Amino acid sequence: MSTLGPTSVIFDLDGTLVDSEPNYYEAGRQVLAQYGVPDYTWADHERYVGISTLETVGIWKREYGLAASVEEVFEAKNRRYLELARVSTRAYPEMRKFVELLATEDVPMAVASGSSPEAIEAILAGTGLDAFLPTVVSADEVERGKPAPDVFLEAARRLGATPADCVVLEDAAPGAAAAHAAGMRCIAIPYVTAQADAPEFATASLLLRGGQEEFTARDAYDWLARSAP
């Protein structure tokens, strides 16, 4: 057992471990333009931070009246996203340090993401984080995506951890809600800092209102040590 006792750490991927949102936005912008929606903005994209690609595309179909099926648009967006993700995804430096620090302490870790298994694999391999994070759960593998707790509960199951011993790192309100619903503590690092007052973030055990600029590996580790069960 690690020096943090029975604590296990579960990471969201997009916007938490890596800055993938620019790639998601660009993939979405290009695909929507292809289907006749030419004016998709970053502000539009921010509405979908934290929910799965499949759910996002379902909303697009309704809101934009897309003639193509959800499946067709979903596959087109995933293809374009993977092309971008393989060549230009950046891991947040302090998050990388945090993962490496936890690894030296033998803390069990997992990734639980709304992204597809293929996208998760591509990003973790491209950033080298796959060496530290072999346990991965995609929302595609469970019944419900965030804000339902399913991905986090499945990650805990695969780690052999009880939910009460798990700490989730999340950047989005639906993820913070999912962690709370799973009975897990949460370190919330809002990707969109203007959303830090969202009620879902109020359930977090630790809220870093300044987002990634406020996060450091050492401070996060010290907080884990102080709050370990």
**Count, residues in the chain:** 229
pLDDT band at 3 (very low <50, low <70, confident <90, very high): confident
Q: Is 12 among the residues known to form the active site? A: yes
**Per-residue pLDDT tens digits for 178-217:** 999 999 999 999 999 999 999 999 999 999 999 999 999 9
Please say whether the beta carbons of 9 and 167 come within 8 A. yes
pLDDT surpassing 90 at residue 52: no
Cα 168–chain centre separation: 10
Q: Which of 12, 19, 140, 165 is catalytic?
A: 12
Kindly give, in sequence order, each residue whose CB lies less than 8 Å from that of residue 32, ignoring residues fewer than 6 positions away. Answer: 38, 40, 60, 64
Please say whether the beta carbons of 169 and 143 come within 8 A. no
What is the pLDDT at residue 1?
Answer: 61
Does pTM top 0.85 for this prediction? yes
Q: How many CB atoms lie within 10 A of CB 67?
A: 10
Kindly give, in sequence order, each residue whose CB lies less than 8 Å from that of residue 229, ignoring residues fewer than 6 positions away. Answer: 5, 6, 7, 164, 165
What is the pLDDT at residue 44?
Answer: 96
**Per-residue pLDDT tens digits for 95-126:** 999 999 999 999 999 999 988 898 899 999 98
CA 44 vs CA 40, 55, 101: distances in Å: 6, 15, 36
